[in-house]
C-alpha cells in the first residue's frame, strides 16, 4: 500500500459514523444513540449531517403530522448558527436547554404552583433545621434567615399567582417569575411523573438531539432517559458529547456508560483541528481518565507547545505575558504572535480578562450581583446594554462622520425622533434638538477627556436624546435620585435595593472608555475569553493563563492539578477536564502560563506525567 493510500485510509477511520447515526434515525427501526466525539473530531459536522438526513428522509412525513426534530444546544450562539445553516427551516427547532424546558411547561400554572408549594415548604424546613444547628449571629445565619423570610413570603403568595413567567436570558426577579434552576427541576419532575407530559414531548419531538450532552443538567437527562424507556420505539434520543469536556458540575456523571440495551454507540477517533504535538498532549492528559485516544490527520502539522512557569506573586503579569508572546513569535517563526488580536488568551475567570482588557471598573460591580450575572454576561442587562448598544454606536458614528449610521441609531433609539414627533409640525425643530444633543454629548470628550458613565448618562438624560432604562433613572438626575432614595427607605426590600443601587453607583463611576473593550469581550470578538467560554471553538494561536490566586475560584485549581492533590480528587478531575478543553482549542501553537507558589513541583509533575519534555518548559519570563 502506498503512503498516500495509507494516509487516506487513516483519515477515513470515522467515515462510518454518520451512516451509523443515519441508520438510527429511522422510524421503521428507531434507535437511540450516544455519539462519543472528542475535541476537534467534527461533532458539529455530524450533528448537521444528521439533521440533513432527517430533513431529506423524514421531513415531509413529520411536517404532515405537525412534528419537529428538537435540537438542544449549549449556547445561544450555537443555536443561532444551526438555524442559519438550515435557513430557519421550521422542521428543525433549535433551542438552549432552558428555552427548550420552558417551551414544554409554559402555561401549566396549576401544576407549577403545586410543585412550588411542596418545594418551598421543603426548602424552608431544611433551612430551619440548618439554622437550629448553626451558630446565631453569623453571616451564614443571617443569610439563612433572609432565605427563610423570602421563601415564606413566596409560599404565602402562591395562591395569588395566576400565571408564571420566565425568560431564558432575563433576570426573572418578579414575584411571578421562575428562576433558571426551577425551570429545569420542574421540567424533569413533570417528565418523570406525568405520562401525559411524556406523550406531549414525543408527539411534538419524535427525535431529540442534544449537543454537549455531558454538560446538560443531570436531572433532565435522567428524565429523558425515562421517556425513552417508557416510549421506546416512538422516541429517538440522540446524545452527542465527550465526558472529558464536561465543565459544569450539574452534568450527569458517567454519561455514555451503562447505556440502556439497544442503544448505538458510534465514536469518532480523528482530530481534524489540532497539530500532532497537541493531539499527543491531550491524549496524555486524558489517558488516566478514560483511555480514549485520538489520531491527528495525516496532513496535520507538527505544532508546538510551551509551558511557562512563573511565581504566583510575579509583579507585572501583563508584561510577562507580552514577553511570552514575543518569545512564541521567535520559536514558532510566526510573527502573528506579536499581534495581540491574533492570539486567543484564555483566563480562568471573567475578572482576569476584565483586568487585562481594562474594563474591570465597570465590570466588577454588576458582575457581583448574583441576580444580574446571567443577563449581564449575555449582554442583555439594561444598565450595561444602554451604553454598549446605544451610546457607544452613537459616539462612534459621530466621530467617524458616518451620517447614515448616526441617523439610523438616533431614529431607532431617540424619543425625540419617534414617529409621533416626526408627524408633529415641530418635527424639524426636533431634528435640530437631536443634533444639538449629540454635539453636547461629544463635548464631554473635549481635550481628550474620558468622561464617566455617570456624566454621559446625565448628559443624555438632560437632553432627552435617549430613553433612560428604569434601572438608571435614579442616577440620571439629582432630583430623581433623591426622590427614589426617599421612597426606597420605606420599602420592605430597601436592603436589596441598596445592594443593587450601590452596584449601579460603582458601575457609573467607571470611565466610558471601558465600554468598547467590554462590548468586544461579551461579543466574543476580544482576544481574551474564559477557559469555559471557548468550548467548541478553535484558534490558530492560544495562550492559556492559569492563575489560581487571581481567579479566586474553588471548583478549578491548577495548583491541585499539577501535583498539589492526589488524582481522583474533585478539583483535580474538574481542572484536568478544563485543561483538556483549553489545550485542544489550538490549531497551530499553544502557550501555557502557570503562575504557582511551587514552580519546582509543577515542573517535576508535568515531566513525570509525560505531558511535556524538559525543553518544552520555560522557568520564568523568557529573555
| In the chain, % of residues over pLDDT 90 | 66
Reduced to 3 states (helix: H, G, I; strand: E, B; else coil), residue 147 is helix
Tens of pLDDT, residue by residue over 377-414, are 878 888 999 999 999 999 999 888 888 888 888 888 88
Q: Which 8-state DSSP code applies to residue 563?
A: I
Please state the length of the chain.
623
Per the structure block, which three cell numbers stand in for 618? 520555560
Angstrom distance (rounded) from CA 92 to CA 306:
43
Q: How far apart are CA 191 and CA 564, in angstroms?
A: 43
Give the pLDDT confidence score for residue 380 in this predicted structure: 82
State the virtual CA torsion across 61, 67, 72, 76 in degrees, nearest 10.
Answer: 100
Sign of CA dihedral 563, 568, 571, 577: positive
H helices of 401-469, where? 403-413, 419-423, 427-442, 453-463
Half-sphere exposure of 411 (CA within 13 A, CB side): 8
71: Cα separation from own chain's centroid:
18
From the list 375, 394, 468, 491, the residue with the least C-alpha distance to 435 is: 394
Asked if 131 and 145 count as a contact pair (C-beta separation under 8 A), the reply is yes
β 33-37/267-268 pair status:
parallel
As beta bridge partners, residue 596 has: 311
Determine the 3-state secondary structure of 188 from DSSP.
helix
Phi, psi of 271 (to 5 degrees): -105, 110
3-state secondary structure of 592: strand
**Cα–Cα distance measured from residue 115 to residue 102, given in angstroms and rounded to the nearest whole number:** 15
Asked whether 41 and 272 are in contact (CB, 8 A), the reply is: yes
**Residues 296, 281: Cα–Cα separation, whole Å:** 12
CA angle 185, 188, 189 (to 5 degrees): 85
Give the chain's residues under pLDDT 50.
1-6, 8, 425, 479-481, 483-497
pLDDT value of residue 303: 97
Q: What does the alpha-carbon distance between residue 581 and residue 471 come to, in Å, rounded to a whole number? A: 38
SS3 314: coil
CA distance 73 to 489: 44
Q: What cell was used for 13? A: 477511520
Amino acid at each position: 500500500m502506498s503512503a498516500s493510500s495509507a494516509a487516506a485510509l487513516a483519515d477515513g477511520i470515522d467515515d462510518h459514523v454518520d451512516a451509523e447515526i443515519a441508520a438510527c434515525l429511522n422510524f421503521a427501526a428507531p434507535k437511540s444513540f450516544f455519539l462519543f466525539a472528542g475535541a476537534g473530531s467534527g461533532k458539529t459536522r455530524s450533528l448537521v449531517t444528521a439533521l440533513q438526513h432527517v430533513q431529506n428522509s423524514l421531513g415531509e412525513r413529520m411536517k404532515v403530522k405537525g412534528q419537529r426534530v428538537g435540537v438542544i444546544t449549549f449556547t445561544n450562539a450555537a443555536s443561532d448558527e444551526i438555524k442559519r445553516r438550515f435557513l430557519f427551516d421550521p422542521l428543525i427547532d433549535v433551542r438552549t436547554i432552558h428555552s427548550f424546558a420552558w417551551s414544554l411547561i409554559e402555561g401549566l400554572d396549576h401544576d407549577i404552583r403545586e410543585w412550588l408549594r411542596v418545594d418551598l415548604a421543603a426548602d424552608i424546613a431544611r433551612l430551619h433545621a440548618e439554622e437550629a444547628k448553626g451558630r446565631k449571629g453569623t453571616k451564614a445565619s443571617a443569610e439563612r434567615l433572609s432565605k427563610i423570610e423570602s421563601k415564606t413570603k413566596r409560599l404565602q403568595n402562591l395562591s395569588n399567582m395566576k400565571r408564571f413567567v420566565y425568560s431564558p436570558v432575563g433576570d426573572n426577579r418578579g414575584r411571578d417569575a421562575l428562576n433558571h434552576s426551577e425551570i429545569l427541576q420542574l421540567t424533569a419532575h413533570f417528565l418523570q411523573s406525568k405520562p401525559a407530559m411524556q406523550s406531549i414531548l414525543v408527539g411534538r419531538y419524535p427525535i431529540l438531539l442534544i449537543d454537549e450532552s455531558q454538560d446538560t443538567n443531570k436531572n433532565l437527562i435522567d428524565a429523558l432517559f425515562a421517556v425513552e424507556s417508557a416510549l421506546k420505539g416512538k422516541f429517538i434520543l440522540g446524545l452527542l458529547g465527550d465526558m472529558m469536556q464536561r465543565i459544569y458540575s450539574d452534568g450527569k456523571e458517567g454519561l455514555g456508560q451503562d447505556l440502556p440495551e439497544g442503544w448505538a454507540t458510534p465514536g469518532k477517533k480523528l482530530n481534524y483541528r489540532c497539530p500532532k504535538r497537541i493531539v499527543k498532549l491531550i491524549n496524555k492528559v486524558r489517558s488516566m481518565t478514560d483511555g480514549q485516544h485520538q489520531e491527528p490527520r495525516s496532513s496535520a502539522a507538527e505544532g508546538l507547545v510551551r509551558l511557562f512557569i512563573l511565581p504566583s506573586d510575579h509583579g507585572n503579569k501583563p508584561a510577562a505575558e507580552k514577553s511570552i508572546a514575543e518569545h512564541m513569535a521567535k520559536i514558532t517563526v510566526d510573527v502573528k504572535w506579536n499581534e495581540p488580536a491574533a492570539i486567543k488568551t484564555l483566563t480562568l475567570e471573567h475578572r482576569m480578562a476584565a483586568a487585562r482588557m481594562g474594563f474591570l471598573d465597570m465590570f466588577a460591580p454588576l458582575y457581583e450581583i448574583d441576580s444580574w450575572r446571567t443577563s449581564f454576561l449575555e449582554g442583555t442587562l439594561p444598565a450595561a446594554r444602554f451604553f454598549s448598544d446605544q451610546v457607544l454606536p452613537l459616539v462612534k458614528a459621530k466621530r467617524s462622520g458616518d451620517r447614515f449610521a448616526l441617523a439610523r441609531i438616533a431614529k431607532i433609539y431617540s424619543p425625540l425622533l419617534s414617529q409621533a414627533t416626526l408627524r408633529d409640525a415641530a418635527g424639524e425643530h426636533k431634528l435640530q434638538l437631536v443634533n444639538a444633543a449629540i454635539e453636547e454629548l461629544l463635548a464631554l470628550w473635549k481635550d481628550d477627556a474620558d468622561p464617566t458613565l455617570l456624566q454621559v448618562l446625565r448628559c443624555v438624560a438632560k437632553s432627552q436624546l435617549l430613553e433612560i432604562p428604569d434601572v438608571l433613572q435614579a442616577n440620571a438626575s439629582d432630583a430623581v435620585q433623591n426622590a427614589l432614595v426617599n421612597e426606597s427607605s420605606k420599602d420592605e426590600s430597601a436592603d436589596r435595593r441598596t445592594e443593587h443601587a450601590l452596584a449601579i453607583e460603582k458601575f457609573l463611576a467607571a470611565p466610558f472608555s471601558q465600554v468598547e473593550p467590554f462590548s468586544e469581550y461579551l461579543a466574543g470578538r476580544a482576544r481574551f475569553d474564559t477557559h469555559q467560554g471557548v468550548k467548541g471553538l478553535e484558534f490558530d494561536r492560544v495562550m492559556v493563563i492559569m492563575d489560581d490566586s487571581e481567579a479566586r475560584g474553588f471548583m478549578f485549581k491548577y495548583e491541585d492539578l499539577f501535583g498539589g492533590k492526589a488524582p481522583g480528587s474533585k478539583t483535580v478531575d474538574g481542572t484536568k477536564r478544563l485543561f483538556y478543553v483549553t489545550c485542544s482549542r489550538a490549531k497551530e501553537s499553544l502557550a501555557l502560563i502557570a503562575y504557582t507558589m511551587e514552580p519546582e513541583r509543577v515542573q517535576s509533575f508535568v515531566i513525570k506525567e509525560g505531558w511535556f519534555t524538559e525543553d518544552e518548559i520555560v522557568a520564568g519570563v523568557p529573555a
